[in-house]
Amino acid sequence: MIDTKAIETHIRGILEALGDDPEREGLRETPQRVAKMYEEVFAGMNYTNHDIAQMFGKTFEETDSREMVVMKDIDFFSYCEHHMALMYYMKATVAYLPKGKVIGLSKIARICDMVGRRLQLQERIGRDIADILTEVTGSEDVAVLIEGCHSCMTARGIKKPGAKTLSVELRGRFKEDVSLQMYLK
């Protein structure tokens, strides 16, 4: 579980290390606000991929389905584990070939949200989403494409505000059959 009291203590220390007074009017409640925000934005750290699969694993039997399922433009965010900087304007495209059952569509978006609510690498987000989708659906034919901006690239360091990062996790037939990949664009 996330230790909000420890976060408050450390945020207070960071404010002091920055040379500011944590007791001044505008900062008095900042440690509590940051701790509450961290509890929300890092909620996914409380769960394993298996836990998330259990939480959002509602499926429907679909024995005749031969059609690919593709969900595009799933907005979500995450935080870079290297700088604790926001990865923003993130969009996921998630696709799979059903194997006897389909997952509820809202569950795909919920999986993306919860996986993003961890200190992450963009590449790992795609792998985690694919792992969870495989566990829930039983299908090895899964693809996850993620496009995002990273504030560690856009707001600091090299400062390239238009830079986007694209990561692609292809499994099963998506890896082997190039014609399936065109639906990810």
Catalytic residue among 62, 135, 140, 152: 152
Give helix 105-116 / helix 122-137 axis angle, nearest 10°: 140
Of 79, 76, 45, the closest CA to residue 151 belongs to 79
Catalytic residue among 80, 112, 120, 149: 80
Catalytic residue among 16, 29, 67, 81: 81
Please indicate whether residue 112 is annotated as part of the active site. Answer: no
Please indicate whether residue 149 is annotated as part of the active site. Answer: no
Our measurement of the distance from residue 53's CA atom to the centroid of its chain's CA atoms, rounded to an integer in Å, reads 14
Catalytic residue among 54, 82, 123, 176: 82
Please indicate whether residue 50 is annotated as part of the active site. Answer: no
Catalytic residue among 40, 50, 83, 123: 83
Please indicate whether residue 152 is annotated as part of the active site. Answer: yes
Residues facing 79 on adjacent strands? 86, 119
Catalytic residue among 120, 122, 149, 169: 122
> How many Cβ atoms sit within 10 Å of the Cβ of residue 27?
15
> How many Cβ atoms sit within 10 Å of the Cβ of residue 164?
14
Please indicate whether residue 150 is annotated as part of the active site. Answer: yes
Active site residues: 80-83, 122, 150, 152
